[in-house]
Structure 1
Amino acid sequence: MIRQFELVERVKSYDPKADEDLLNRAYVYGLRKHGAQTRASGDPYFSHPVEVAGLLADMRLDSASIVTGLLHDTVEDTDATLEEIERLFGPQIAKLVDGVTKLSRLQLQSDDTKHAENFRKLVVAMSDDIRVLLVKLADRLHNMQTLRFIKDPEKRRRIARETMDIYAPLASRIGMERVKEQLEDMAFAELNPEGRESVVNRLQFLREHGRTLVPDICEELRAALKEAGIEAEVTGREKTPYSIWRKMRSKNVSFEQLSDIMAFRVVVDSVQSCYAALGALHGSYRTVPNRFKDYISVPKPNGYSSLHTGLHGPRGNRIEVQIRTRDMHDIAEHGASAHWAYKDGAAATEGRQYRWMRDLLDILDKAAGPEEFLEHTKLEMFQDQVFCFTPKGDLHTLPRGATPVDFAYAVHSQVGDTCVGAKVNGRMVPLRTPLQNGDQVEIVTSKAQTPSPTWERFVVTGKAKAAIRRYVRLKQREQYLSLGKSMLQKAFNEAGEAMTEKGLHDVLANFKQQSIDDLYAAVGAALVPAREVVHAVYPGLKSRPAKASADVVPIARARARLRDGGETPIDDPSIAVRGLIPGMAVHFARCCHPLPGDRIVGIITTGKGVTIHTIDCETLESFAHQPERWIDVGWQGSTSDHGNKYVGRLRVTVENRTGTLSSLSTVIARNDGNIINLKITNRSSDFFDMLLDIEVSDARHLADITAALRATPAINAVERARA
């Protein structure tokens, strides 16, 4: 355990102005509070906070961070209080200790709401002062170093998994690569000991058969640079077992096939010398194609800067070389702690390297719940990155696979919400187009545009997904609310009673709703049956004999009336199926594929609103004994006015001969149809049976295509499919 004077001397070695009295008082206070407590290893418990403080000192952090490390477990594990810490050590340290204390039981591998909620607290705490994260990383690092003393194997795996999933990526995000590598490798040893052992054994074999390989390569690289007039510090090292294992798995190659197990670092005095060194090495050795990356002109979001290149280096070894200045090296090794700056006690966290943190806060604001927030946040942290530019040259860093919609939301939420198109490198592209490194992206917007739920299928950033889902939730609520109000009014009318706000307000508690609008929305989403609300407002109705009209739409009568042309007028525009976005409060059943012109009926579906079926759909039989879920709906206006595309399904039998599929697709295209899916259901030597999903404007359009197909010689039979 680090002794008191040793810790103070270590801090004062890099910060001569450190508050020695504050450090001494914190050390003594923590030692006294933890008293005789011990850890799983049998060591005094206070050895843990002291080691955490030592790790923070190695990061060259300020006195407040060191004191927080010494005190970070006192509130949770002793009788110390935040009020006492604030009185003895000041409000700043009390706030830091409180931030770390709230995260002490973070468990992120679980889907439990409580655990996801803890991660929300982590983001809020570290956004206010990133020193909370630095102390937490040091705390986790020491806990991983002593993980072997925990007897419960399940608990060890849980801690290791949470370290791998959350803390290592967070360390990487703030540029602390050394901490990240240590966390990953220790977690890897617990989660996959056999895999790590196999990599370690192979590395040991390489060391034994090439003891002077790394020093010899360093010397040859140093000589090549000196010949070009460049003085440089050259070092080499093996990559960590986990990074080697991850590369073997991602590239699906064996250990022997890896070309960059060894990494070499060239440290020079200036940026100009970096590029000069790059030229000298490229002039001396053959380069490995597609292995050059310039992180000096385009740094990583965490502030990392270097030149990376792959070479067929000395003795024919394929090696990776990183070229950087001394300042770059300091940032690469220590990340956020290397350029720590304070002004009036506040952390300077507004640089580009912390933009991702503001994005997490934006997701926190828009996510529906903690689980959704955790899902989107993992998207933000785990993916590789591409660098794209606005027409003005502003840089935006996105996950690999990001689209123009992701880029639009990265620029600003309003730009994303109103995005209608995109130009990439001056050329219009579909919004689902994956962006590449160096692309210049121009977003075309329109005030009339709103986010489309279909965007969620291809966007990859958590910020974009959260914004789209939030918009969909708001639109769903509006439609559920309007639909629910209409359904309740109808239910009260059929019961012969008046619907009043006072009556509804009095029964809100019965259905666990906060407001009348919430009750309307719950009814519209089929979470609360309308008839139960009527009976709650008028309890006496339960004892009355049911009226014949209380059956909203008995199946036989509904079909008969609709077949006779007696469609019920639609009083509520939210029930009109025209122009609604699929997946929101009103959507079309896939069992019968209703089209404008078909006679239709609506079924209230829990959590989805109204599902539209054709009146002869066989699925309706299953709702025959649930009349309260039926709603009369119809197509508003002329079907030719819709302007939307719908999916019609055909069952087709074609002859098995050359050119048949060509004839089929040509006929459909000539009749303005678009095949979006084709499935062969049966095949023989003479005929093929298939299902075709075709985009059409209405039922008449599908009928025209059907007639044209029937007139085609190579097509044996065509009929509309209902499933």
Structure 2
Amino acid sequence: MSPGRSANAVPPHASEPEGVPEYVRKLERAASYLSAEQLAQLRRAWQVGAAAHEGQLRKSGEAYITHPVAVAGVLAELGLDTETLIAAILHDTIEDTPLTHAEIVAEFGETVAELVEGVTKLDKLKFRDRQEAAAESFRKMLLAMSRDLRVIMIKLADRLHNMRTLGAQSPDARRRIARETLDIYAPIAQRLGMNLVKSELQDLSFRAMFPWRHAVIDKHIRSRPVVRREAMAQIEVQLSQSLAKEGIDHRLISRIKTPWSIYNKMHAEGKSFDQVMDVFGFRVVVGSVPDCYHALGAVHAQYKPLDGRFRDFIAIPKANGYQSLHTVLFGPYGSPIEVQIRTEEMDLIAERGIAAHWSYKFGAEAPNSAQSRAHAWIVELIENQRAAGSSLEFLDNVKVDLFPDEVYVFTPKGKILSLPRNSTALDFAYAVHTDIGNRAVAARVDKKLAPLRTKLVSGQSVEIIIAKSATPKPQWLEFVVTSKARTAIRHQLKQLEHEYAVQLGHRMLDSALEELDSSLERLPQQRLEAFLAEHRYPRLEALLADVALGNWMPAQAAQALTAYAELRSGSQSRHSQEKILITGSERGVVSFAQCCLPIPGDEIMGYHTAGKGVVVHRLDCPNVAEFRKSPDRWVPIAWDPNVSGDFDAALLIDVENRTGVLAQVAAAVAQSQSNIDRVEYLERDMHAAVLRFSIQVRDRNHLAEVMRRLRRLHVVSGVRRQL
């Protein structure tokens, strides 16, 4: 039961309220767009809800039924359908009153009951301080949204009314609820295009969290100097006159900034209050799209536009369906004039988002509608959360989508894609299709070859070059920004790591079985299945992966599989010297020790570590002596003849300490076709210095070539490989 409600609720229909209170009449006035029959249903919902909540009070002392009716009022102001308004009135009944799902179905139909059930489940989600719990709750909220968007709209209206009546809560509770509103609910309202709801949620949260700051800014806004009010009126008259001369039927509205928007801009851009307020804002609402562009010409003729400050969100709408022309003009008082130009329909969608022209059936409106975009966004989120490893990872991924600042780019066929700010060519590839992203090797940006990490800007045309053999690389996670790309890369890397682990585990276990004159193929199937069942492995691949990762020692697993009482000790079979060949591409299963940095051509050994797999060391590594104490963890390995790729190596270079030396050394390394990862000075005096270069090479021959080139430099007195 929610705080502030008494437990003495009575069954529905036990008594009906006498008369119709003002708060119900206020709801009916807001819902006057409904038919007489629908308004009658609405009043019936109030009667059922009032009877169910009888005796329950809010913390303020008011009858509890006033809250759900007020929530319905918020939705009525947005023009929502009857079913949503009825569900809003009844949204707390299933959890907190004797009213049942079946009774709601009988009285108001299955759809209303499902909406109430959906909101009830959301109400049980408490965003606690523990991050994992909050992430899991957020994931469940999005799943509920995917089934019916009206569920989250009722929840947003519920949160808005709670924020309006937050005064009855303790100061700590006010701050906690306000922070949760800013972090979760306001961004969702923004992503769904519900700007009126988002703006009020943000401002109420600001007032609850920082009441003194809110009061100071609010006072400043209200006490704007007379000179500024006169300037605003003068600009309004001139703009309206200019539009009228062109014969454009229009509404001109001056935009008023909220305390939160002013505070946020001051905080984010380091501006003073006067600097933020020194901007005049107007909205021009016209009849059609051609009128928008006609009006743009009229206002540009009246005042000169500022270079680079024009945005066309009509041709390229924002991800949440927002459409408008934005321009900034140089005003007569030296202050910029921000003007937004849009049609009546665009204005409705800009303020109400998915609530505008509400249509429950997906696809009933044009594919550009806010509802369609919201559905598409949530469907993509649901796909991403299935691939995400944890709720925390999912929440981390989705933050990008909740705080978008889009760039708009074109496919080769002219289709427009919207991506978050700082998106790369690789993000674009995954936005086109997951398979395109997984096989991407490069891009053409405006027909010029570019690497996948290239950041995109609006207006560019992007084409992705793919290769069938290409696979995602862990480094990609360092520069992608979209949740779809990050989730897909992580998912694919996990699959690749598992495949490599299975392959390596197979070789290691077969090698151990050979020492016992057996092999996986020769093991009785019944014995193998019994072993897998006993250790709860669904498939043989899971055991092989565990062997590669060091969770089973190969000899231990071989012994258990062949049912030997003990391993033969003191004697080696004819197979014991056979080595497992590695290519270096066994991601997540084979790693290379940082103490000695082995490269192809070095004599190597493997050391098995639980959870990490095989760690490769050079045989001349100083740490090998310590590993000899655990011979059961040794893995006989060697380089595969087909080994390829770049491997880390470190060089210590003695140089003269003078200007330009570092550049000469770096150039020599680069001319040897080697990448430089890092450079550091280990020692330095007046005449000499010792540099440590971390580089990447293909093998020992490549490293030798790098060292030869360095020794030819007259500024270099010595080069040696670091152990």
Provide the TM-score with structure 2 as the length reference.
Answer: 0.87
- Residue 312 of structure 1 corresponds to which residue in structure 2? 330
- Residue 563 of structure 1 corresponds to which residue in structure 2? none
Secondary structure (helix, strand or coil) at the match of 2:468 reads coil
- Residue 557 of structure 1 corresponds to which residue in structure 2? none
- Residue 254 of structure 1 corresponds to which residue in structure 2? 272
Secondary structure (helix, strand or coil) at the match of 1:206 reads coil
- Cα–Cα, structure 1 residues 658 and 115, in superposed 2: closer, same or farther, change >3 Å? closer
- Cα–Cα, structure 1 residues 505 and 388, in superposed 2: closer, same or farther, change >3 Å? same
The CA distance in 1 between the partners of 2:404 and 2:571, in whole Å, is: 58
Secondary structure (helix, strand or coil) at the match of 1:315 reads coil
Task: Give the drift of 1:595.
Answer: 0.6
Indicate conservation of the 8 Å contact 1:508/1:519, yes or no.
yes
- Residue 76 of structure 1 corresponds to which residue in structure 2? 95
Secondary structure (helix, strand or coil) at the match of 1:476 reads helix
- Cα–Cα, structure 1 residues 277 and 286, in superposed 2: closer, same or farther, change >3 Å? same
Higher mean alpha-carbon deviation, 711-720 vs 216-225, is at 216-225
Indicate conservation of the 8 Å contact 1:178/1:333, yes or no.
yes
Amino acid at match of 2:276: L
Secondary structure (helix, strand or coil) at the match of 1:7 reads helix
- Residue 438 of structure 1 corresponds to which residue in structure 2? 459
Q: How does 1:261-660 map to 2 (within 5 A)?
A: 261-343=279-361, 351-352=372-373, 354-488=375-509, 513-527=537-551, 547=569, 568-571=577-580, 576-578=581-583, 580=585, 583-620=587-624, 623=627, 625-637=629-641, 641-660=642-661
Indicate conservation of the 8 Å contact 2:279/2:335, yes or no.
no
Indicate conservation of the 8 Å contact 1:260/1:320, yes or no.
no
Amino acid at match of 1:137: L
- Residue 560 of structure 1 corresponds to which residue in structure 2? none
Indicate conservation of the 8 Å contact 1:116/1:370, yes or no.
yes
Instruction: Spell out, residue by residue over 1:259-295, the C-alpha distance to the aligned partner (whole angstroms, 9 max, x if none).
Output: 6654211112222222222222212223223221111
Higher mean alpha-carbon deviation, 393-402 vs 228-237, is at 228-237
**1:118 and 2:123 matched:** no
- Cα–Cα, structure 1 residues 83 and 368, in superposed 2: closer, same or farther, change >3 Å? farther
Q: How does 1:34-183 map to 2 (within 5 A)?
A: 34-108=53-127, 110=129, 112-151=131-170, 153=172, 155-183=173-201
Secondary structure (helix, strand or coil) at the match of 2:201 reads helix
Instruction: Spell out, residue by residue over 1:336-370, the C-alpha distance to the aligned partner (whole angstroms, 9 max, x if none).
Output: 11131245998998734543223212212321222
Task: Give the drift of 1:619.
Answer: 4.7
The CA distance in 1 between the partners of 2:517 and 2:214, in whole Å, is: 74
Higher mean alpha-carbon deviation, 336-345 vs 301-310, is at 336-345
Task: Give the drift of 1:191.
Answer: 3.6
- Cα–Cα, structure 1 residues 391 and 712, in superposed 2: closer, same or farther, change >3 Å? closer
The CA distance in 2 between the partners of 1:49 and 1:628, in whole Å, is: 69
- Residue 558 of structure 1 corresponds to which residue in structure 2? none
Indicate conservation of the 8 Å contact 1:109/1:162, yes or no.
no
The CA distance in 1 between the partners of 2:365 and 2:513, in whole Å, is: 60
Aligned residues: CA RMSD: 3.3
The CA distance in 2 between the partners of 1:487 and 1:129, in whole Å, is: 52
Task: Give the drift of 1:326.
Answer: 1.3
- Residue 4 of structure 2 corresponds to which residue in structure 1? none
- Cα–Cα, structure 1 residues 567 and 505, in superposed 2: closer, same or farther, change >3 Å? closer
2:241 alignment partner, one of 200, 205, 223: 223
- Residue 16 of structure 2 corresponds to which residue in structure 1? none
- Cα–Cα, structure 1 residues 19 and 479, in superposed 2: closer, same or farther, change >3 Å? same
- Cα–Cα, structure 1 residues 591 and 481, in superposed 2: closer, same or farther, change >3 Å? same
- Cα–Cα, structure 1 residues 399 and 619, in superposed 2: closer, same or farther, change >3 Å? farther
Amino acid at match of 2:238: E
Indicate conservation of the 8 Å contact 2:597/2:648, yes or no.
yes
Amino acid at match of 2:340: Q
Gaps of 5+ in 1: 553-565
Task: Give the drift of 1:140.
Answer: 1.4
- Cα–Cα, structure 1 residues 109 and 19, in superposed 2: closer, same or farther, change >3 Å? same
Gaps of 5+ in 2: 1-20
The CA distance in 2 between the partners of 1:40 and 1:398, in whole Å, is: 44
Indicate conservation of the 8 Å contact 1:594/1:648, yes or no.
yes
- Residue 7 of structure 1 corresponds to which residue in structure 2? 27
- Residue 687 of structure 2 corresponds to which residue in structure 1? 686
Task: Give the drift of 1:60.
Answer: 0.5
Higher mean alpha-carbon deviation, 274-283 vs 209-218, is at 209-218
Indicate conservation of the 8 Å contact 1:239/1:262, yes or no.
no
Indicate conservation of the 8 Å contact 1:220/1:314, yes or no.
no
**1:701 and 2:720 matched:** no
Task: Give the drift of 1:48.
Answer: 1.7
Instruction: Spell out, residue by residue over 1:444-492, the C-alpha distance to the aligned partner (whole angstroms, 9 max, x if none).
Output: 2333333333222211110011111111111112222333455555666
- Cα–Cα, structure 1 residues 519 and 644, in superposed 2: closer, same or farther, change >3 Å? closer
Instruction: Spell out, residue by residue over 1:64-95, the C-alpha distance to the aligned partner (whole angstroms, 9 max, x if none).
Output: 10011111122222233333322332221122
- Cα–Cα, structure 1 residues 505 and 17, in superposed 2: closer, same or farther, change >3 Å? farther
**1:245 and 2:301 matched:** no
Amino acid at match of 2:376: R
Instruction: Spell out, residue by residue over 1:576-621, the C-alpha distance to the aligned partner (whole angstroms, 9 max, x if none).
Output: 432516x532232333221101122223345443332222334556
Amino acid at match of 1:94: A
- Cα–Cα, structure 1 residues 606 and 172, in superposed 2: closer, same or farther, change >3 Å? farther
- Cα–Cα, structure 1 residues 613 and 185, in superposed 2: closer, same or farther, change >3 Å? farther
Task: Give the drift of 1:696.
Answer: 1.6
Provide the TM-score with structure 1 as the length reference.
Answer: 0.87
Amino acid at match of 2:140: K
The CA distance in 1 between the partners of 2:436 and 2:509, in whole Å, is: 39
Instruction: Spell out, residue by residue over 1:214-270, the C-alpha distance to the aligned partner (whole angstroms, 9 max, x if none).
Output: 444323322333344434221213322222222223323333333665421111222
- Cα–Cα, structure 1 residues 516 and 706, in superposed 2: closer, same or farther, change >3 Å? same
Task: Give the drift of 1:443.
Answer: 1.9
Indicate conservation of the 8 Å contact 2:407/2:418, yes or no.
yes
Secondary structure (helix, strand or coil) at the match of 1:339 reads coil
Secondary structure (helix, strand or coil) at the match of 1:19 reads helix
Amino acid at match of 2:338: E
Instruction: Spell out, residue by residue over 1:557-583, the C-alpha distance to the aligned partner (whole angstroms, 9 max, x if none).
Output: xxxxxxxxx995345xxxx432516x5
- Cα–Cα, structure 1 residues 538 and 315, in superposed 2: closer, same or farther, change >3 Å? same
Amino acid at match of 1:181: S
Indicate conservation of the 8 Å contact 2:654/2:688, yes or no.
yes
Task: Give the drift of 1:435.
Answer: 0.7
- Residue 556 of structure 1 corresponds to which residue in structure 2? none
Amino acid at match of 1:694: I
Instruction: Spell out, residue by residue over 1:616-652, the C-alpha distance to the aligned partner (whole angstroms, 9 max, x if none).
Output: 3345566555544432221011xxx544222221011
Secondary structure (helix, strand or coil) at the match of 2:205 reads helix
Indicate conservation of the 8 Å contact 1:403/1:431, yes or no.
yes
The CA distance in 2 between the partners of 1:533 and 1:148, in whole Å, is: 65
